[in-house]
Amino acid sequence: MRSRPASLVAERAVRYLLESGKPVPSIELARELLSLKVGDEAQATRVLGTAFGGDPRLSYEEGAWRPRTAAPEPEPAPGEPQEVEPDLAFVLVEGERPAAGARFALRIVSAVRRRGAEVVAACGGELAGWTHDHELKQQLRALLEGARVALHAPPGGLGALEAWLEEPLTDPLPIALLARRRAGIAARHDVEALAAALGLAVRIDDDAARRIEVLPACFDALREPGEPWGALVDSCRPRGDVIPWPRYAFTREDLQALPSAPGTYRFFDHDGKLLYVGKSRSLRRRLASWFREDARRSPRARAIVEAVHRFEADPSGSDLEALLREAGSIRRDAPEHNVQREIHAHPSRAQRLASILILEPAEAPFVLRAWLIREGRLLDAVPLGRRGGGLARVARILESEFFDPRVGPRSARARPVDVEIVARWLAEHRDRAVAFDPTHLKSTEDVVARLRWFLERGTLGDPEGSPILPR
């Protein structure tokens, strides 16, 4: 067990030295890694020695830093398959509850991704330091994609993180629970207390980036040498009911094979009866969250998990499309476990949506998706490419249905749409959708020009992350 955690500065130093292919003096390394202008080699060496934390991969000899050569790993026997371990992502969540019974308020979210012993990505910090947090969300989602996740969060922190990310994590390993099971450490502790309880010689300051660096070292201290990930997960499983995998017609691997895309899903029992219909912005993460071993479930959710035998997933390419499909299926098929909510119509909402064009992000290779709604009918949902693919189709619908509805062909794709559902979706997604009445512009050409403007930008948001409409 190492007495000090790997430093992100040390990771950058190793890569810099390997790319340079030669020994590098402390003055140069301090300038390149820390942006420090130090004129004295001895002083620069002391600064770097502190920053590197005694990392065994770095050595200072004859006035220059060199990467230490690691002993070569034994080559696998001929024909022996080589297993590639997935990356590990370590996530640190900090915050508090403003009052008893209040929701957990996120304050800091930091993460590092490790491939073997090397940190390959890092992001995060205090949320208050971001003018708009959508960029941090995108960075964190990319960092977590395809990695096994080890999480340190206070009670309520995981739920708050998933709500902020707008998607659940896939089977995160709770380090606080692992520490309690393995070392008897009280569940309510911060990273500094955890490191101290594990006997790690580290100094933690107020920098969130320094605290996240400690988390991998705590994880390594709790993990037995060579212990597989599955054993760690098993040690954190609830000691009561478990997921009845043998009863299902699918496996964990089937859930992992689902796309990280919006869509709807349907649960069926052993006799083929439809139990439940749901939708999600990420089918993979949502389905995995249903069958997470340590999830806290309501009686209704527990009944679904125990009764389901198989599922069907239908990617939609659009969050709004998934919502409409879900609502239509619930209304048409009346699944046993869906809660049937009565939606009260608001005349003002229906009036505002009598003529509307909605733009939302689209799946690759498209950029945006244009929804055209007129008098309670969804005329079409057209995906738009960066070079203008789909605009001609939009122009035909605009001309025949919005600007001169008396002439021209009627849209063959039109279908009734629940304007109340669309209105609620728009209210909840103001940060990622734009809506306007095309007839407020003078002509079809003006509307198409507005759509081209958004396509050229490639986003619906301004630099602050807020949706905008060009004047």
Note the residue count of the chain.
Answer: 471
Q: Please indicate, yes or no, whether residues 223 and 320 belong to a single structural domain of this protein.
A: no
Whether pLDDT at 205 is above 80: no
Which pLDDT score is estimated for 42?
86
Do 216 and 90 contact (CB within 8 A), yes or no? yes
Which pLDDT score is estimated for 428?
83
Residue 18, helix vs strand vs coil: helix
Q: Please indicate, yes or no, whether residues 352 and 327 belong to a single structural domain of this protein.
A: no
Residue percentage of the chain with pLDDT more than 70: 82
Mean pLDDT over residues 145-158, rounded?
90
36 φ/ψ sector (left φ>0, alpha ψ -120 to 50, else beta): beta
Mean pLDDT over residues 167-177, rounded?
87
Q: Give a yes or no: residue 127 inside a domain.
A: yes
Q: What is the CATH number of the domain that holds 272?
A: 3.40.1440.10
To the nearest whole number, what is the mean pLDDT of the chain?
Answer: 82
Q: Please indicate, yes or no, whether residues 447 and 396 belong to a single structural domain of this protein.
A: yes
Cα gap 338→199, rounded to integer Å: 50
Q: Cα separations (Å) of 37 from 22, 23, 57?
A: 21, 19, 25
In 3D space, the residue among 88, 343, 61 whose CA is nearest the CA of residue 219 turns out to be 88
- The whole model's pTM is what? 0.53
Mean pLDDT over residues 184-210, rounded?
75
Mean pLDDT over residues 55-71, rounded?
80
Q: Please indicate, yes or no, whether residues 111 and 202 belong to a single structural domain of this protein.
A: yes
Cα gap 393→384, rounded to integer Å: 10
Greatest mean pLDDT among 13-27, 77-91, 173-187, 382-396 lies in: 382-396
Q: Please indicate, yes or no, whether residues 118 and 224 belong to a single structural domain of this protein.
A: yes
Q: Name the amino acid, one letter, at 290.
A: W
Q: Please indicate, yes or no, whether residues 195 and 124 belong to a single structural domain of this protein.
A: yes
Q: What is the CATH number of the domain that holds 60?
A: 1.10.10
Whether pLDDT at 81 is above 60: no
Mean pLDDT over residues 86-103, rounded?
86
Which pLDDT score is estimated for 2?
34
Q: Give a yes or no: residue 83 inside a domain.
A: no
Mean pLDDT over residues 425-433, rounded?
84
Which pLDDT score is estimated for 450?
94
Which pLDDT score is estimated for 166?
83
Q: Give a yes or no: residue 431 inside a domain.
A: yes
Structure tokens at 241: 């009911």
Question: Tokens 């109340």 map to which residue?
Answer: 420
Residue percentage of the chain with pLDDT more than 90: 30
Whether pLDDT at 309 is above 70: yes
Greatest mean pLDDT among 10-19, 197-206, 227-236, 432-441 lies in: 432-441
Q: How far apart are the first and last CA of the chain?
A: 61
Q: Single out the residue in 298, 333, 368 at which a domain terminates.
A: 333
DSSP notation for 367-398: -EEEEEEETTEEEEEEEE-TT-TTHHHHHHHI
Which pLDDT score is estimated for 397?
93
Whether pLDDT at 342 is above 60: no
Range of the structural domain that residue 407 is part of: 347-457
Q: What is the pLDDT of residues 222-239, one digit of tens each?
A: 988 888 998 888 888 765
Cα gap 334→328, rounded to integer Å: 10
Q: Give a yes or no: residue 82 inside a domain.
A: no
Q: Give a yes or no: residue 2 inside a domain.
A: no
Q: Give a yes or no: residue 265 inside a domain.
A: yes
Which pLDDT score is estimated for 1?
30
Q: Please indicate, yes or no, whether residues 391 and 354 belong to a single structural domain of this protein.
A: yes
User: 471 pLDDT band (50/70/90 cuts)?
Assistant: very low
Question: From edge to edge, which strands make up the β-sheet containing 148-152?
Answer: 118-126, 105-115, 88-96, 148-152, 173-174
Q: What is the pLDDT of residues 113-122, one digit of tens each?
A: 998 878 888 8
Q: Please indicate, yes or no, whether residues 319 and 193 belong to a single structural domain of this protein.
A: no
Q: What is the CATH number of the domain that holds 212?
A: 3.30.420
Question: How many structural domains is the chain composed of?
Answer: 4
Q: Please indicate, yes or no, whether residues 301 and 376 belong to a single structural domain of this protein.
A: no
Which pLDDT score is estimated for 69?
62
Whether pLDDT at 324 is above 60: yes
Greatest mean pLDDT among 54-68, 73-87, 145-159, 452-466 lies in: 145-159
Maximum CA pair distance of the chain? Answer: 86
Which pLDDT score is estimated for 207?
67
Q: Single out the residue in 272, 304, 333 at which a domain terminates.
A: 333
The C-alpha angle 365, 252, 139, rounded to 5 degrees, equals 45
Whether pLDDT at 64 is above 50: yes
Whether pLDDT at 176 is above 60: yes
Q: Please indicate, yes or no, whether residues 146 and 222 belong to a single structural domain of this protein.
A: yes
Q: Give a yes or no: residue 73 inside a domain.
A: no
Lowest-pLDDT range, 123-132, 172-181, 223-232, 357-366?
Answer: 123-132
Which pLDDT score is estimated for 372?
94
Q: Please indicate, yes or no, whether residues 164 and 217 belong to a single structural domain of this protein.
A: yes
Which pLDDT score is estimated for 241?
54
DSSP letter (8 states) at residue 247? G
Q: Give a yes or no: residue 434 inside a domain.
A: yes
DSSP letter (8 states) at residue 317? S
Do 311 and 268 contact (CB within 8 A), yes or no? yes
Q: Please indicate, yes or no, whether residues 409 and 306 belong to a single structural domain of this protein.
A: no
